[in-house]
Amino acid sequence: MTHPVQPKASHFINGEYVEDTAGAAIPVIYPATGEVIATLHAATPAIVDQALDAAKAAQKEWAAMTGTERGRVLRRAADIMRERNHDLSVLETYDTGKPYQETSVVDATSGADALEYFGGLAGSLTGEHIALGGGDFAYTIREALGVCVGIGAWNYPTQIACWKGAPALACGNTMVFKPSESTPLCALKVAEIMIEAGAPKGVYNVVQGYGEVGAKLVTDPRVAKVSLTGSVPTGKKVYAAAAAEMKHVTMELGGKSPLIIFDDADLENAVSGAILANFYSTGQVCSNGTRVFVQGGIKDAFLKRLKERLDVGIKMGDPMDPEVNFGPMVNEKQLDIVKKYVALGQEEGARLVTGGGYPDKDGYWVEPVVFADVKDDMAIAREEIFGPVMSVLDFDTEEEVLARANDTEFGLAAGVFTSDLTRGHRVVAGFEAGTCFINTYNLAPVEAPFGGSKASGVGRENSKLAINHYSEMKMVYVSMNDVEAPF
Ligand code: NAD
């Protein structure tokens, strides 16, 4: 019998489901059990063409609608997503393995927030009037870029589809979105909901595929902009390919972010912050603060309380059970990466405080891991693991810890816990990171910009800033005077 999550077809193009079984098979595996719950197919060149043609054909008409009209579609889509939160959350759990306790309050809700926020902004997107000498003036017209390609990672498939789609569509662009091959289901629902909300056909399309399909989309001449959420190595390839064609980009990439806990921090809040920074979504969060620097005076109390809270608080099990708060890794490959680093951490001499076991059951399960006495040059402290592995490092002074925190190619996020407000602001001013937190961690409200510096990315998602990454300004100089020419 077909599993209920099996979609009608693999792709959603020009307002309808489309199939081409000639494309490579994409098995969808429920990470909690290892079962194949659906099979989709990667886009063939014909499917990629069809999607880009549909997006291109729809774009001018979509951009010609008023911002208020476009915004209305997005806000309706937000309402539909909220009404269907339960079903969308169940689907997100099947796609990713994240527990329903988490997906029911984070994924479709954060997607809906983006649709609502950019839907609200769409009617007030403007250029400006610039007074010049002698009565001359210039004005600017904010124009859509054209067809935008979105390429997603697997950790937040609904959210990523909306965080890219909402600002793109608000500005009058159309989108072809390629989800991660590991989590291909959720974006199809977003596309369906857009149509139901009144988006014209072709405005939001979804094609499936592995990296080759992504690569084909990036270099296609019909495409004006590429927004990728993924790893740094993929980001470098995609950025280079887009640059060769002078396309706009947004790059939301990986990290190895620092979280600094000073002696004067509130212990319970600091432990909560470190938990949020490492174990939500089973550690599969790009902005995670996986290098936790803890000052000498609070270190023992911090480690003791952290272990107590993890021992009592973590509930692994059926992700659909609302009591369960810790799911499996997304797939076998990611589980193997975690296993490799947990073994490496021990070999390198880090002290295992808790975790390190692998429940003996189907699916891709791992206990959350805390390492103490981690040194800056250990692989577990330098490389992104993208799993529930926290490294705790010791430090003495503010100056020293800031230098060590910044000593990384990444610059996605950074956080500090202290009760000294002046120090909190001074430390974040010194962080080389795009997304910083004082006395909390990993909050990403749509109203505030999100993104990384250094190797972690280019551009920002969310907030009014995202508008600049999905539109460009045309300048018009208007002369009110005779034209003076030298000869
Ligand atoms: P990945 O880089 O392997 O893949 C990301 C996407 O790129 C997938 O859809 C993949 O099919 C596609 N892709 C692969 N090669 C491509 C190519 N040559 N051209 C075009 N597309 C290509 O990443 P992943 O394993 O899916 O996700 C985990 C990574 O994503 C981690 O590094 C994580 O930190 C990062 N991430 C970043 C953010 C952020 O907002 N900064 C959010 C979530 C995840």
Active-site hit among 92, 116, 181, 252: 252
Average pLDDT over residues 6-30: 98
* Residue 274 near residue 306, CB atoms below 8 Å: yes
pLDDT value at 390 more than 80? yes
Task: For ligand 1, say whether the CB of 215 is within 6 Å of any of its atoms.
Answer: yes
- Active site annotation includes 252: yes
Average pLDDT over residues 149-171: 98
Residue that the structure tokens 């250094």 belong to: 454
What is the 160 CA–ligand 1 centroid distance (Å)?
11
For β-strands 16-18 and 11-13, DSSP reports them as antiparallel
What is the 191 CA–ligand 1 centroid distance (Å)?
20
Measured from the Cα of 238, ligand 1's closest atom is 19
Active-site hit among 56, 98, 164, 189: 164
Task: For ligand 1, say whether the CB of 152 is within 6 Å of any of its atoms.
Answer: yes
What is the 253 CA–ligand 1 centroid distance (Å)?
7
Sheet strands (E) in 300-356: 351-354
- Distance of alpha carbon 266 from alpha carbon 350, whole angstroms: 26
- Going by alpha carbons, the residue nearest to atom 14 of ligand 1 is 211
Best mutation site among 186, 286, 330, 458 for ligand 1, i.e. most ligand atoms within 8 A of its Cβ? 286
Binning pLDDT at 50, 70 and 90, where does residue 1 land?
confident
Task: For ligand 1, say whether the CB of 386 is within 6 Å of any of its atoms.
Answer: yes
pLDDT value at 424 more than 90? yes
- Active site annotation includes 186: no
Average pLDDT over residues 373-390: 98
Give the pLDDT confidence score for residue 175 in this predicted structure. Answer: 98
* Residue 141 near residue 119, CB atoms below 8 Å: no
Q: Which residues contact 61 (CB under 8 A, 6 or more apart)?
A: 200
Measured from the Cα of 153, ligand 1's closest atom is 26
The per-residue DSSP string of 48-79 comes to HHHHHHHHHHHHHHHHHS-HHHHHHHHHHHHH
Reduced to 3 states (helix: H, G, I; strand: E, B; else coil), residue 27 is: strand
- Active site annotation includes 116: no
Class of residue 427 by CB neighbours under 10 A (exposed 0-12, middle 13-18, buried 19+) = buried
- Going by alpha carbons, the residue nearest to atom 19 of ligand 1 is 215
Task: For ligand 1, say whether the CB of 293 is within 6 Å of any of its atoms.
Answer: no
Assigned token pair, 381: 């402290």
Q: Which residues contact 419 (CB under 8 A, 6 or more apart)?
A: 264, 265, 266
| Tens digit of each residue's pLDDT (9 = 90 or more) over 446-478 | 999 999 999 999 999 999 999 999 999 999 999
Average pLDDT, the chain: 98
- Active site annotation includes 286: yes
pLDDT value at 253 more than 90? yes
- Distance of alpha carbon 387 from alpha carbon 374, whole angstroms: 17
What is the 149 CA–ligand 1 centroid distance (Å)?
14
Average pLDDT over residues 305-316: 97
What is the 467 CA–ligand 1 centroid distance (Å)?
22
Task: For ligand 1, say whether the CB of 219 is within 6 Å of any of its atoms.
Answer: no
| Tens digit of each residue's pLDDT (9 = 90 or more) over 267-276 | 999 999 999 9
What is the 340 CA–ligand 1 centroid distance (Å)?
20
Best mutation site among 40, 96, 107, 151 for ligand 1, i.e. most ligand atoms within 8 A of its Cβ? 151
| Tens digit of each residue's pLDDT (9 = 90 or more) over 83-141 | 999 999 999 999 999 999 999 999 999 999 999 999 999 999 999 999 999 999 999 99
Measured from the Cα of 210, ligand 1's closest atom is 11
- Distance of alpha carbon 313 from alpha carbon 325, whole angstroms: 8
Task: For ligand 1, say whether the CB of 254 is within 6 Å of any of its atoms.
Answer: yes
Active-site hit among 56, 286, 384, 398: 286
pLDDT value at 23 more than 90? yes
Task: For ligand 1, say whether the CB of 253 is within 6 Å of any of its atoms.
Answer: yes
Active-site hit among 102, 181, 384, 461: 461
pTM over 0.95, yes/no: yes
Assigned token pair, 352: 């295992």
